[in-house]
Copies of this chain bind each other. A is one copy, B any other.
Amino acid sequence: MADKVYRASTTAPVNIAVVKYWGKRDATLNLPTNSSLSVTLAQSDLRTLTTASCSASYPASEGDWLLLNGEPSDVSGARVQACFRELRARRAALEAADPSLPKLSTMPLHIVSENNFPTAAGLASSAAGFAALVRAIADLYELPASPSELSLIARQGSGSACRSLFGGYVAWRMGGKADGSDSMADQVAEASHWPEMRALVLVASAAKKGVSSTSGMQQTVATSSLFQERIERVVPQNMAVMEKAIQDRDFAPFAEVTMRDSNSFHATCADTYPPIFYMNDVSRAAIRAVEQINAAAGRTVAAYTFDAGPNAVIYYLEKDTELVVGTFYHVLGGEIDGWKNDAVKGLKPTTSLDGGVASLLKGGVSRVIMTGVGPGPQKADEHLVAEDGTPVRR
């Protein structure tokens, strides 16, 4: 009889920051130049499902491997290796303390991972991917580690991944120690604290971004004359106002800080030498649209934010769906992918957008994603590795 195949599966969510992570003070440990804060998005719309497995029957010659969306993925990189090393060390400590435990830390890891959203969504999936990888292996190894402790490990895989180990509203505290042992995530509030938060993603381009965020943020740190001001004064203030806005469930300051911090981040990119531009004319049209929607509503009902790419993420509250989604739905038309029919059915066009803005959006937005705040990683019964250790074909 073959050796047992140990398996654990988990899902992990995507998160979109409202106070941005941009800049590393240590590129190896992924230690940031500033704290950041994000909203975890619902996994029914955007999630990674990962199964981690190990077995004494796995040929040592193959070593560890990772199958990502059906394709073999290189695990020899320093970041994946750091996660494997940290998790194995913790398992080895358990095994040393209790000799009755199977020596999982010595077995090759076979990992299979799948996203439920098309790459065409143009959303960075590395955060959900590394969060799921770390959570799945931690479950496989039955580590007694808290999400914050696991966030220390996921951070070394992909900085923003540390925030995907929690649901709801999540802060990544930059920390101050050289070894990074205090640079971890914690939960500002559960999704249930403010469950009405929604997000509409306008996918302006599926094209791979010009400058990778890893290289882009290092260029900004090295060359932007305005960057120090952002990390020393602007971000700490944005973090404080944002945390209070979330505690108070107060959308107006949440929205203003979200928009201001996105602007500040992209301003430091434009001040980088040579300048980095992630937004395009379609992105800027989305900003004008949000301004026009808020002006027409007479109050702040929508907030834009942009990561290292042209896609707009627009936060709003469920009660304002018609004001926000209704406007975009009627401008973009029902033909493009991503509308939830039950949600957009019967929505009236509330704000009539300026003609130039409307035509730029109509011509430049290829699809939308309708989602909202959601929970953190979930243990899954669905395994992507069969009991005999073979990847599940789907």
Contact = CB atoms under 8 A, between A and B. Distances in A.
Nearest to A234: B225
A267 interface: yes
Contacts of A234: 225-226
B275 A271 contact: no
A264 B271 contact: yes
Contacts of A277: 284
Interface in A268-285: 268, 270-275, 277, 280-281, 284
B270 A263 contact: yes
A318 B20 CA distance: 44
18 contacts: A226-B226, A226-B229, A226-B230, A226-B264, A226-B267, A228-B229, A256-B273, A259-B273, A259-B274, A263-B272, A263-B275, A264-B271, A266-B270, A267-B267, A267-B270, A267-B271, A270-B270, A281-B281
Interface residues of A, number: 28
Which of A229, A233, A263, A281 has the most chain B CB atoms inside 10 A of its CB? Answer: A263
Nearest to A294: B274
A249 interface: no
Q: In terms of DSSP, what is the predominant structure of the interface of chain A?
A: helix
Contacts of A362: none
A365 to B, nearest CB: 15
Nearest to A270: B267
Contacts of A291: 274
A260 interface: yes
Which of A260, A266, A291 has the most chain B CB atoms inside 10 A of its CB? Answer: A260
A287 interface: yes
Contacts of A271: 226, 263-264, 267
A389 to B, nearest CB: 46
A275 B285 CA distance: 12
Interface in A33-48: none
A271 B265 CA distance: 8
Contact of A268 (B260, B266, B267, B275): B267
Interface string A283-299: 01001000100000000
A273 B284 contact: no
A183 B222 CA distance: 34
Interface in A222-248: 224-226, 228-230, 233-234
A270 B273 CA distance: 16
Contact of A233 (B225, B264, B266): B225
A263 B277 CA distance: 11
Interface in A144-197: none
A234 to B, nearest CB: 5
B280 A273 contact: no
Nearest to A261: B225
Given A263-B272, A267-B271, A281-B281, 14 more contacts: A224-B267, A225-B230, A225-B233, A225-B264, A226-B268, A228-B229, A229-B229, A260-B273, A263-B271, A263-B273, A263-B275, A267-B267, A274-B291, A280-B281
Nearest to A262: B275
A275 B256 CA distance: 12
A270 B281 CA distance: 13
A276 B267 CA distance: 11
Contacts of A264: 225-226, 271
A195 to B, nearest CB: 28
A253 B229 CA distance: 24
Contacts of A228: 229
Contacts of A266: 270
Nearest to A238: B225
**A-B interface, 8 closest residue pairs, ranked by CB to CB distance from nearest:** A267-B271, A229-B229, A267-B267, A267-B270, A226-B226, A225-B234, A263-B275, A281-B281
